[in-house]
A and B are shown apart, each in its own frame.
Chain A
């Protein structure tokens, strides 16, 4: 199996201070891979670098075998890599439908309409409120919209940044179930989470980040029972 996304020796700096210190990991096709770690560990920075919003200081990022570390963000989207950012970042003044259509900005094929309906099937809430401004939605609904919007570009790889942030435990479960659904429909997923428990449970592979370095890696199941992880990230003694 070839890696869909491969990150090699990635370093990212703000000024001259490294936020990400030489990390390497890979995401295989069809997998859910998760990066966990506390605030400031460099998870979001990593995702923003992969999607081209930040330029790396050094290292390589390969997507389907092609280097993308110098590619502009909008071109990376066209290549099939979608990024659902931290904090949802929906367009608040636009309606649900307009938001979703922006997700398909790079496409000019005729399948957009069908994909729109597919989004409404996946998230019926969105279908019911398709002409309402997205800014009036609750956090959970906004998260659904953000995920639906990211899927509109028909990505091969979807990166989700903290989808459970600020959500009730109930809503969080719904979101995690959706992640599984998306995987079963054939999307590869790179999931960044602070909620280690939920993330590791559905991950095929997990990496633990601490202040810019990968300190542990393994399958989701292995990490869930790893002593260090249990102490530091699951809050167990």
Chain B
């Protein structure tokens, strides 16, 4: 977090009254500057060289200044009633800091990309000056007493409207972000998003949103699915982003299955990718590929079930040692199983054992799925918008994810889920209270494996080929990281984690080489500073902060809420 030393009180008191006009002027300058040209060179950062035709970055700058104006007006002016609830001063400080950073980085980017400071047009400087003024004003705004926004309630319809608007913002934000092809633009966009999020946190809005979404869980789920469903329609038939999106979904599906094992049952599985692999190999070897080694070619739905069951059987085998092994040792056992799976797939090439998998070459040329006359490889047009191959897989995977979420949350909120929490808390005591510890652990492995197996069969067709090197330990670590990053035991967390871990590397090609390095660092830093993940399950948060009594008191109500 960026900390800027506070300005001495005397200065604030003396110049405080100037903060408001100063801020408005700054925001105005920022907007005016953004409408002018920023750069002489039309080739860099999209095109920022034409006045009154703002490019993506200029739109972001304008959005930030509009937000700043809203906050200023809430502090003093027509929106003060809103200002009574939200901590506008802190929010403005956060926003202004990030906006200034944004503008500074934009100028740096232009300088670097176009080769020299001379490439910045006056518009750029005007916007920068505006950002500086907003920043200065934000330092002079005095915080004031606010009511607790966390407990504010609006009429139901308007709360639902908020959710819908939020989801729409996510939809268009994502589509917008994916449309950015320039890495600088993408990074700057992420900066804006971060800035806005922090502004929301500072204003107390995010906490409030959290409460709103728990009050309207169903609406949230529906809206989220609607957004996910609508996403392909924003892509205008382009399949490039849909390819990434369907990769993200496969990854998310597997991560969600793993989350049952790790997040709910509390068992660390370091070989989980093997379950996805088992499904994929079933899908591949039972496909109509010329290299498929199994003669039986049932309809795909049967293949899916077979894949799920083969995986589940493996889950049963891998879960069996939990009868005697737990904790770190279990993690190592699962790691061992994962490696055995990969090596076995690698070896079953006809020379070292029967030919099942074609060894390191794998099973290539897996044909696209067909349901009746619907071929997943073809482009279909719906509502005038062409939906190509990856869109088709995307919709199928969306169905699968919906199913996985259903399984996950229903199990979590049942007798079985309670049993899992009890095992996580104190295994011996759970056993002594009559909880079937071994059975529940096995169940977690089997259900998790089954779901991954289903996903795997689809993955085989989507990827066209299946090879052992797709199922190395690192992939298991990635899945685990998605859970850790997003938040153990929560659906939203894992989805966010999966998106971050799969999307960022795809969009940020320039750091492709440093991807793994940063990934390793990220894991270490997460464990150090926020081990419960970005969207933490309340209970998991407590488990990671055993000694924080205050937190326990604070979240008590939330946990009770989840129960009922």
Contacts and interface: CB of A to CB of B under 8 A. Distances in A.
A167 to B, nearest CB: 26
Contacts of B552: 15
A17 B545 CA distance: 13
Nearest to A16: B550
A105 interface: no
B553 interface: yes
16 contacts: A14-B547, A14-B548, A14-B549, A15-B545, A15-B547, A15-B548, A15-B549, A15-B550, A15-B551, A15-B552, A16-B548, A16-B549, A16-B550, A17-B549, A17-B550, A17-B553
A14 B548 CA distance: 6
Interface in A11-54: 14-17
Contacts of B551: 15
A208 B545 CA distance: 31
Contacts of B550: 15-17
Nearest to B552: A15
Closest 3 CB pairs of A and B: A15-B548, A17-B549, A16-B550
Interface residues of A, number: 4
Nearest to B547: A14
Dominant SS among interface residues on chain B:
helix
A16 B552 CA distance: 10
B546 to A, nearest CB: 9
A14 B466 CA distance: 52
Interface in B29-79: none
Given A14-B547, A15-B550, A16-B550, 13 more contacts: A14-B548, A14-B549, A15-B545, A15-B547, A15-B548, A15-B549, A15-B551, A15-B552, A16-B548, A16-B549, A17-B549, A17-B550, A17-B553
Contacts of A16: 548-550
A16 B545 CA distance: 12
Nearest to A17: B549
A125 B552 CA distance: 46
Contacts of B553: 17
A14 B549 CA distance: 6
Contacts of A14: 547-549
Contacts of A15: 545, 547-552
A122 B241 CA distance: 80
A18 B552 CA distance: 14
A107 B153 CA distance: 66
Nearest to A18: B549
Nearest to A19: B549
A17 to B, nearest CB: 4
The residue in B549, B551, B552 that gathers the most chain A C-beta atoms within 10 A of its C-beta is B549
B481 to A, nearest CB: 28
Nearest to B545: A15
Contacts of B549: 14-17
A17 B548 CA distance: 8
A14 B545 CA distance: 11
Interface string B19-35: 00000000000000000
B434 to A, nearest CB: 28
A185 to B, nearest CB: 39
A48 to B, nearest CB: 13
